[in-house]
Amino acid sequence: MTNSEEKYKKVYPVSWQQLHQDCKALAWRLLDLGTWDKIVAVARGGLVPAAIIARELEIRFVDTVCISSYTLRTQGETRILKEIKRDEKERILIIDDLVDTGSTARVVRKMIPGAHFATVYAKPDGRPEVDTFITEVSQDTWILFPWDSEPQYHYIKPIVSQK
């Protein structure tokens, strides 16, 4: 966590198992919405969820857009490192791990208009930018993904005493 992330007061740790379950729940929702020609993962956070959803929906064409949202958050500007050109005829499913402020989603939506934007987790400020998501957490929650953490075994205070 960097200084720019001091706005986060709570931590929501997500295990590999929970992430897998949540991604499969997202795949079930997406299954009801029709078929897609390709998945576009928003790197890096969207890479693992996109792989799980691609497996469940049997989508073998997986592309990426690469955006530096660290720069975006701290300086209010976007650095697109890799973009894609959209074929108007294609139904594209964009996958990211979460929407927080919604800035990344806005940039990607502008790049790929008309695509379906799905995330596993969403915070209130970013929610309007997402078409489908599974779990909402509060704006001041830091979602700790399994690829950013190690399991630890130590005493955790009850939630009531963490306020």
Contacts to ligand PRP by CB under 6 A = 42, 44-45, 69-70, 96-105, 126
| CB nearer ligand PRP, residue 148 or residue 156 | 148
Instruction: Tell me the C-alpha to C-alpha distance, in Å, between residue 118 and each of 33, 34, 133, 134, 152.
Output: 12, 14, 6, 9, 31
User: Least distance from C-beta 96 to ligand PRP, angstroms?
Assistant: 5
Q: Which of 96, 125, 131, 140 is catalytic?
A: 96
Annotated catalytic residue 96: yes
User: Least distance from C-beta 128 to ligand PRP, angstroms?
Assistant: 11
Instruction: Tell me the C-alpha to C-alpha distance, in Å, between residue 62 and each of 30, 40, 56, 74, 84.
Output: 16, 6, 13, 30, 12
| CB nearer ligand PRP, residue 31 or residue 80 | 80
**98 neighbors 143 (Cβ within 8 angstroms):** yes
Q: Which of 32, 97, 125, 131 is catalytic?
A: 97
Kind plus residue range of the DSSP H or E element containing 53: helix 47-57
Query: Closest by alpha carbon to 39, among 57, 23, 26?
Result: 57
| CB nearer ligand PRP, residue 36 or residue 45 | 45
| CB nearer ligand PRP, residue 74 or residue 162 | 74
Annotated catalytic residue 97: yes
Annotated catalytic residue 37: no
Q: Which of 22, 63, 100, 140 is catalytic?
A: 100
Kind plus residue range of the DSSP H or E element containing 138: none
Q: How far apart are CA 142 and CA 1, in angstroms?
A: 9
Give the residue numbers annotated as catalytic, written as ranges. Answer: 96-97, 100
